[in-house]
Amino acid sequence: MHFQWYPGHMSKAKRVMQEDMKLIDVVIELVDARIPLSSKNPDINQIAGNKSRVILLNKYDLSDDVQNQKWKEYFESQGYIAALVNSKKGDGIRKVNDAVITACKAKIERDRKRGILNRPLRAMVVGIPNVGKSTFINSISGKASAKTGNKPGVTKGKQWIKLNKSIELLDTPGILWPKFEDQRVGLHLALIGSIRDDILNSYSMSLNLISFLTMYYKGALAERYGIIESEDAVENLAAIAKKRGCLLKGGDLDLEKASGFLVDDFRNAKLGKVTLEFPPEIESEVLVEETDNSISE
């Protein structure tokens, strides 16, 4: 199984983002807290160059509290300023201002030494599709947001949202593309609903999910569906189909239908708060392979 997902509009998005980079001080990168690595595009390190970096683990309302903290620590250990946010509800949003200022400490100090005071920091939001960029921008802008419009010396058409006296945010986010270097990345993106369902069938997605849950979130399936969890993924799926009355015409179990239920339940956090990827100390090989930590500061 190999995914190709780099349509033409993504190369345009990359060019636009590279241009926008010239205008900003700090990159606010959103990842999905359930799959922090698969929802992260390592190319951003090269695109961001030496800009200050903030990483937001968005949708943390859907992911595992214990893993959220571990991921935050992990990204901090990699030189990011990291924060957990729920852009939909606004939880954690207020802390982002502080995160931006902390990330730009060195720049603020440089400005101060040169006698430049109170120059607003300019920020840009980036992330793969569906990670919550628009929701985040709306949430942090709030009602008080004022678009400052075109400014002299700024590329025509750029709109800046003044968040407060210290920070201005570019109103259009940079769209990164997911990077399918590994089948698991595709599987994880499909499971959270970030890529079209027809790329992977729900049956294989659900079997993978069941295997993962029975290993790392024992009891989650039992609790949701009232089944007795076995070590065999197909058996578990069959048990779910039975409990949910998923039957084909002849009376056989409809495993496709049960798979659909299961994946939907996962996406809506009905199986509990689940994180599909663990930071290095738990799964070192996978993460070392997939993470490019060369943030040049």
Assess 132 for contact with ligand GDP (CB under 6 A): yes
CA–CA separation, 174 and 133 (whole Å): 9
Shortest distance, position 261 Cβ to ligand GDP, whole Å: 19
- Residue 281 tokens read as 């100390």
- Residue the block writes with tokens 């659900």: 206
Report whether 292 contacts 181 (CB < 8 A): no
What is the contact mask toward ligand GDP in residues 4 to 43, using x (rule: CB under 6 A)? Answer: ----------------------------------------
What is the contact mask toward ligand GDP in residues 39 to 78, using x (rule: CB under 6 A)? Answer: -------------------xx-xx----------------
* List 39, 41, 87, 275, residue binding ligand GDP (CB under 6 A): 87
CA–CA separation, 190 and 193 (whole Å): 5
CA–CA separation, 101 and 103 (whole Å): 5
Assess 135 for contact with ligand GDP (CB under 6 A): yes
Alpha helices in 40-182 (DSSP H): 43-48, 65-77, 94-103, 105-113, 133-141
Q: Dmax over Cα atoms in the chain, in whole Å? A: 80
Shortest distance, position 23 Cβ to ligand GDP, whole Å: 20
* List 34, 53, 133, 224, residue binding ligand GDP (CB under 6 A): 133
Tell me whether residue 86 or residue 202 sits nearer to ligand GDP (CB atom).
86
How many residues contact ligand GDP, by CB under 6 A?
15
DSSP H or E stretch at residue 271:
none
Interface residues with ligand GDP (CB under 6 A) are: 58-59, 61-62, 86-88, 127, 129-135
